[in-house]
Amino acid sequence: MGVVNVTPDSFSDGGEFLDAGAAIAHARRLVEEGAGILDIGGESTRPGAEPVPGQEELRRVLPVLEGIAAAEVGAQVSIDTSKASVARAAIGAGATLVNDVTALRGDPAMAEVIADAGVECCLMHMLGEPRTMQSGVGGPQYKDVVDEVKAFLEERLRFAVGAGVREERIMLDPGIGFGKTVSHNLELLARLHELTRLGRPLVVGTSRKGFLGRILADATGAEEPVGPAGRLPGTIATNVLAFERGASVFRVHDVAPVGDALAVTAATLGGRWTPRGTTTQTS
């Protein structure tokens, strides 16, 4: 899943692809590098991010979605939004996957939009909302982060199915970095296989995340976390571990190097890495 942020304030590439033409060209490059899904987002969900009005979000993403559809790039198109109005318009422009970081909690109309359109969706765990998810004394708190994330995803899966979304069209995301400390993220990655018992494909998004920068800084004794541009080795390592533990969709900024690493990992484990694209969708 290649990331296309049409935002001015995303943590790693904010502003780079705010122009529709630049975003469309970037999407084409990601497909050439091996992306089977393009995740188009017009609202940053980095820690502390402010909400974006629906009309502004649509203004950012619709020209990109329409341009990708016209270019026939050969990948499934996902809309990264928690607003039903944005999802509805994006589906009309060719999106067949809704990536909702609120797991259908942000907008009461979202489940109906997804169910009526018969598209796929990704339900993600997040503690709180982007503005508050990393705040509080001592940071986010869990008794057992894996058990609590699993219970949340199981409940949201039941909710979505009860709202008419077909179970075979649902993916689940533990929400690495969304209301979690470094230790929480590492615990989720180490025990990711426990989430495969939910029976749905697992999406993992560690790409360029802040916890990688802190780990790399600690390893070298640096005072400041390594910046987003220096987090590719950590991104590769975490995706390889996630693949070994059962994840099947990898949301990344750097498609080619991560894809190469997954191909080698799959071969080592006795299998073959096949990016998930439109040809493998459930009918």
* Rounded CA separation 153/150 (Å): 5
Which residue is catalytic, options 169, 208, 245, 251?
Answer: 251
Q: For the chain, state the CA radius of gyration.
A: 18
CB-based burial of residue 85 (10 Å sphere; 0-12 exposed, 13-18 middle, 19+ buried)? middle
- Length of the chain, please? 283
**CATH number, domain at 153?**
3.20.20.20
By C-alpha distance, which of 195, 271, 186, 202 is closest to 234? 186
Is residue 235 a part of any domain in this protein? Answer: yes
List of residues 6+ apart from 34 with CB closer than 8 A: 255, 256, 259, 275
pTM of the model: 0.91
Q: Which residue in the list 150, 209, 231, 245 is annotated as catalytic?
A: 209
Instruction: Identify any residues that bridge with 37 across adjacent strands, giving them in sequence order.
Output: 76
Q: Give the structural domain span for 28.
A: 2-270
Residue 275 lies in a domain: no
What the block records as the tokens of 248 is: 């099947």
pLDDT tens string for the chain (283 positions)?
999 999 875 555 555 666 889 999 999 999 999 999 999 999 988 676 678 899 999 999 999 999 999 999 999 999 999 999 999 999 999 999 999 999 999 999 999 999 999 999 999 999 877 666 555 556 788 999 999 999 999 999 999 999 999 999 999 999 999 999 999 999 999 999 999 999 999 999 999 999 999 999 999 999 999 999 999 999 999 999 999 999 999 999 999 999 999 999 999 998 776 765 433 333 3
**Could you tell me if residue 283 is inside a domain?**
no
Instruction: Give the H/E segment covering residue 37.
Output: strand 37-41
Tell me if 277 is assigned to some domain: no
Considering only CA atoms, which of 266, 283, 205, 242 is closest in space to residue 275? 266
Query: Is there a catalytic annotation at residue 83?
Result: no
Task: Work out the angle at residue 155's Cα, subtended by the Cα atoms of residues 150 and 161, and round it to the nearest 5 degrees.
Answer: 125
Could you tell me if residue 282 is inside a domain? Answer: no
Q: Is residue 131 part of a domain?
A: yes
How many domains does the chain contain in total?
1
Tokens (6 digits) for 136: 């509080």
Which residues, at least 6 apart from 130, have a Cβ–Cβ distance to it below 8 Å?
Answer: 44, 45, 46, 47, 48, 49, 101, 178
Beta strand ranges found along 72-201 (DSSP E): 76-80, 97-100, 120-124, 170-173
Instruction: Name which of 76, 82, 27 is nearest 201 in CA terms.
Output: 76
209 is catalytic: yes
Is residue 279 assigned to a domain? no
Specify if 146 maps to a domain: yes
